Structure 1
C-alpha cells in the first residue's frame, strides 16, 4: 500500500489531540449561483450528492431534449444520491432453468430496491472533492459514465470516494463527478417519429448537459473547467465513444481526454432500425389510436409507460447484445454510424485509453446455449446480428470463427467452459462484433493521429463458464487495482504513466507495432506487455462487415 501523502491545501482529517481519534467533520457546503448545497464529509473527501442538473424529464418534458435548470436558489440537501432513472427488469429466456431465473431476479430486485431505487425525475449528478480544497486549486476532473447496457444502472453503484482518496495518496489529487442519464425507452426511444421530432439519443444528450454543468460550475469546487476527462465502462464506454464522434469531433471544451473500458464506436444504424420497439410500446400503451403517437406517449401515466417499456428485450434476452434501446443515428447527435464517423475523421482529437476484458461475449451468450449446430448459428446471426448480410458474408464470418471449442470464448481455455455445442463460438462472435472489433478499429484508424493506450483484462480467467467476462475489469478500476492509478495519472497528465511513470511502463499505441498491457492473474507478473494482434484477420473482417451492415 502506498503511504498517504498530504499536499497543501489538503486537510486529510481533524485529529483530537486529547482523545487521539478522528472527530466527525462538520458537513461541507458549496454555493452555486444563489443556492447553497450542504454535502457530507469523509476523512479525505467532501461529497455533494444528488445535485439536479436539468429540469425533471416528466410531463411534457418526457421524450424531449434535457432542459438546463435556471440559477440555483435557496438551500439544498446534497447528502444522498438522487433516484436512478427507470430501470429495465432483467429476465432470461423461458427455456432456461426457472431456478436460475429466480436467482437473477432476486439479485436484481435487491439492487433496484436497495441501491438504485428509480424515478422518472432522476437527472442528478454527484461531486467528490478532496477535503480542504481551495476554490482556486484548479484540480483536474474525471467524469464517470456508468454502464448497464443502456437499460440499468445508476450513480449510487459507484462511490467516487475511493478514486479521489487514492488520488490524494498518489499526490495527484482529482475531482470525481458522476451523473444519471435516462435509460431504456425513456432515454433511447427510436423510430421514424422520434427521428422526425429530433428527440433521439436523449440519454446521450443528458450526459452532454451534465458535462456542460461541470464546465460551468466545477471551478466552485476547486476544479479546472478545462481539464476534464470522460471515463466510462460498457454502455458508459460506448457513450464516451459517442461523445468523441459527435459534433464533427468538436468537444466544445467539455473534455480533454477519454477512457473507455469495454466499449467503443459500435456499429449502430438508423433510428428506424428500432421502429418495431417503438410500435410495440405505442400499442401497449393504447397510443396507436392517436394522431400523434409520440405526444400521446408523453401523456400516458408513468406506470403504464414503464410496464410497456419493461416488455422489450433486455441484454439477457435471446437476442442478447442486439439491444432494443441503444444509441442510433438520429441526424443530430449521430449523423452517421459511429464507424463511418471514425473513417470520416469526425473524432475528438484527444488522448484516449481503450481496453477490453478478454472474454467479453461469454456473459451475454448464456441465453443462447440451446444453439447446437452451425445451421442454427447461421440462422441466429441472420435473424438478429446481421439481418442484411448475405449468406456468403455470414459463411465467411463463420470460417473466421470455426466450430472448434478451443478457438472460442472464454479464450485460451481449451475444451472447458462449453455450456453448449456452440456456446463458445457464439460468445466469440458476440464479443468481437460489439467490443473487441470496435476497440481495434478505433485504434487502427486513430492511434497515428492522436495519443492512445490499450489494455486487455485477463483476470478472473478461472471463473466457471464465463472466464474474464464483461465488467470484471471494474474490480481493477474501482477496487484496489492498478487501473485506478493509471486513470488518476491520465486525468492529471493525459498519460497513464504520469510524469515519472509507475509500475510497468504502459507503451503508447503504435499502429505499426501495436502493443497493449495485460492485467493477468499472476503474483510475479500481474501486468505484462503483449503485441496487440490477436484474431487480427477476424477482427478486421468483423469491422468491415459491421460497416456494411450496422445493427
Structure 2
C-alpha cells in the first residue's frame, strides 16, 4: 500500500513539474518618456544593458563622458550590453607553477569574458520581483572590473544568479542570493531587500556619471537615491571607490552614503606625465606620431587598430607587473593631487567604509618575474620599475626591511615552502605591501578617527600552492556563502557590518587597529587580530611611495 501511494505521489509530482508554467508578465519601468521592458524569473526583475552615457566614439573617445539624452520610445532590455574594451590577457604560466595554482588563475579569475565594444556605457538594474516605484530600497552600485586586463564585471553577476535557490547557512536567515555586491535577501532580523546597479565602465569620471544616473532614475525601479552604497569589487573596482571618496575635495555630492572595498585603497600613483612614454608608444604604433594633435588623431584611429596597439602595451602579467601601463593618475580634474596626498589633506568623503585585503596580495603579480633569482637582479628590477629616482640608501633600507630570508616572504607564514625562486617570496611581499597593504593602512590611519571604518584581512586558502591567500581569494567569502556576504548585507542596510548572524566586528581606530581576520581554521574561522604586522617595513614603503609615486 505504501509503495503504491508513493508511486502515485511520484506520478502526481511529475505531472505537476511537467505542466507548463503560466507566463510571467514582463516587468516595465518608465524613464522620462521611455518605456523599458525587462525580464523576470519570479524572484528577480532584471533590466539589462540600459545606456547611461553616449557612445564614447569619435570626439567623445578619450574625453569626459556625456549623459544620454532623455529617454523616449520603447526598449527591450533583457540582455547584457557589451563590456568596455580591455587589454587582452597575455599570460604564459611558468613551468614550475603547480596545477592547483594554474587552475585557480584560470577558473577563479579569468573565467568569463563578454563581447566588448566602444559603445559600452550601459548598466544593469536588478530588483526583487514585485518591487514598486518609490519603494525606497537600499541601492548597491557595483563595478567588478579590474585593472587586470580581460576581467569583466559580468562574471560575478552570472555566478550569482545561479545562487538564487541556495539554502540559508543559518536557520535565522532564509534563502538569499548575491550578485557581486548586489544582495537580494528576504530578511535578516527584519525584512530587507535591495536594488543592485551593475555598471559597465572603465574610468572614474564614467562611474561618476553612472552614480548621477542612479540619483535621477533609481526611484522608478524602487530604489532610494539617498541609500546608495558603492561596492565596487576587488582591486580596480575597489581602488575606483577609493578615488570617488577622495575626489572633489571629499564632497560626495550626495551620490553615495557608504563604500565597501576589497583589495583596493587610494593607490600610490603620481602625475599623468608618468605615463608619457607609454602614450608616446601608443601614438607611434597607431600612426599618429606626425599629427599636430596626437590625441585628436587617436580619436579617429579605427577601433581594431587602436585595440591592437593597446594589447601590445605591457600588461599586468608583463615584467612591469603592478606598475601598470594605464593607471589612473593625477590629471588636475578628477585627481588634483596624488591620492595619498589627498588623504593627508583631508579630501575624503565623510561616509562609513569597509576596506580589506588578502594576506598574499603580491604573489599573483610576481609570477612574471621568476627570471629574477639573485639579489642584484632584484635590486635592478625594483630600482628601474618602481624607484628610478630613489637613492641607493633608499633601496638598501627597503631590502633590509624585506630580507632575503624566504621564511619571511609571501605567501606569509609558509616557512620554506612556495619559494619558486630565491627572490620570489621577497618580491611578492614588497609588491603586495606597496600597492595593497600599505595604502590600506595609510588610509585607515588617517581616517578611522574621523569617520566609521572597518577593516578585514583574509588568510583563507593559505594552502593554495605557490600563491597562498592570493589576490581575489576572498571572492569565495562573498560568493561561496561566507561571512563576508552577511557583513555586506548588514552594511548596505545599516551602514554597519554587524548583525546577529555573524561575529562582532569592531570599528578600526588608530589607537586600536583591529582586523576581522578570516582563516582556514574550522574551529575559529573568524578572529580578531591587530593590524601591526610588518610595521617598520610598511611604514617605510609608504614613505617611499609618497616620495616616489608610481
TM-score norm. by structure 1 comes to 0.88
- Tell me the distance in 1 between the aligned counterparts of 2:93 and 2:416: 27
Structure 1 residue 168 displacement after superposition? 2.3
Q: What are the equivalent positions in structure 2 for 1:480-499 lying under 5 Å apart? A: 480-498=481-499
Per the TM alignment, residue 212 of structure 1 is displaced from its structure 2 partner at its CA by: 0.5
How far apart are the structure 2 equivalents of 1:369 and 1:431? 16
1:390 and 1:267 map into 2 onto residues whose CA distance is 19
Which residue in the other structure is 1:168 paired with? 186
8 Å contact from structure 2 (residues 135, 223) kept in 1? yes
Decide whether the 8 Å contact of 2:283 with 2:294 is kept in 1: yes
Partner of 1:225: 225
Question: 1:343-368: CA deviations, max 9, x gaps?
Answer: 00001111000100010000010111
The whole-number CA distance in structure 1 between the counterparts of 2:97 and 2:132 is: 56
Pair 1:315–1:96, CA change in 2 (3 A) = farther
User: For residues 107 and 468 of structure 1, what CA distance do their matches in structure 2 show?
Assistant: 16
Q: Any unmatched runs of 5+ in structure 2?
A: 1-12, 162-176
- Deviation by residue 1:357-389 (Cα, 9 ceiling, x = unmatched): 010000010111111111111111111111121
Is it true that 1:316 corresponds to 2:317 in the alignment?
yes
CA contact (8 A) 1:271 1:330 kept: yes
Give the alignment's Cα RMSD to 1 decimal.
2.3
Distance in structure 2 (CA, Å) of the matches to 1:340 and 1:308: 33
Partner of 2:341: 340
Q: By how many angstroms is 1:84 displaced? A: 0.7
The change in CA–CA distance for 1:412 and 1:111 in structure 2 (over 3 A counts) is: closer
Deviation of residue 98 (structure 1)? 13
Cα offset, 1:26, TM superposition: 2.6
Distance 1:369 1:394 in 2: 20
Q: CA offset at residue 23 of structure 1?
A: 5.2
**Contact 2:46–2:127 (8 Å) recurs in 1:** yes
Match of residue 55 from structure 1: 54
Per the TM alignment, residue 28 of structure 1 is displaced from its structure 2 partner at its CA by 1.2
Specify whether residues 51 and 176 from structure 1 end up closer, same or farther in structure 2 by C-alpha distance, changes over 3 A only: same
For 1:529 and 1:375, locate their aligned partners in 2 and report how far apart those are by CA, in whole Å: 39
Matched residue count = 508
1:130–1:165 contact (8 Å) kept in structure 2: no
- Which residue does 2:85 correspond to in 1? 86
The answer for the alignment partner of 1:355 in structure 2 is 356
> What do the CA deviations read for 1:189-217 (whole angstroms, capped 9, x no partner)?
xxxxxxxxxxxxxx111111001001111
In the aligned structure 2, how far is the partner of 1:353 from the partner of 1:99? 33
TM-score by length of structure 2 reads 0.88
User: SS in structure 1 opposite 2:231?
Assistant: strand
Cα distance change, pair 165–441 in 1 and its aligned pair in 2 (3 A): closer
Give distance in 2, aligned partners of 1:60 and 1:385: 34
Q: Are positions 1:259 and 2:257 aligned together?
A: no
Contact 1:45 1:165 in 2 (8 A): no
Q: Distance in 1 between matches of 2:266 and 2:237?
A: 12
- C-alpha deviations, 1:508-529, integer Å up to 9, x for none? 1121111111111122211111
> Residue 444 of structure 2 aligns with which residue?
443
Asked if the contact 2:142/2:230 (under 8 Å) is kept, the reply is yes
Structure exhibiting the larger radius of gyration computed from Cα positions: 2
Question: Is residue 352–residue 495 contact of structure 2 (8 Å, CA) maintained in 1?
Answer: yes
* Bigger mean CA offset, 20-29 vs 261-270: 20-29
Q: Deviations over 1:432-476 (max 9, x none)?
A: 000000001011111011100010111111111001100111111
Change (3 A) 1:521 1:25: farther
CA distance in 2, matches of 1:169, 1:421: 51
Report if the CA contact (8 A) 1:129-1:174 is conserved: yes
Residue 382 (str. 1) matches residue 402 (str. 2): no
With over 3 angstroms needed to count, the CA separation of the structure-2 counterparts of 1:536 and 1:471, relative to structure 1, is same
Aligned match of 1:303: 304
Distance 1:316 1:463 in 2: 19
How much has 1:415 moved relative to structure 2? Answer: 0.4
Q: For 1:24-39, what aligned pairs fall within 5 Å after superposition?
A: 25-39=24-38
Q: Within 5 A, what are the aligned runs for 1:490-509?
A: 490-498=491-499, 501-509=500-508
**Aligned residue number for residue 174 of structure 2:** none
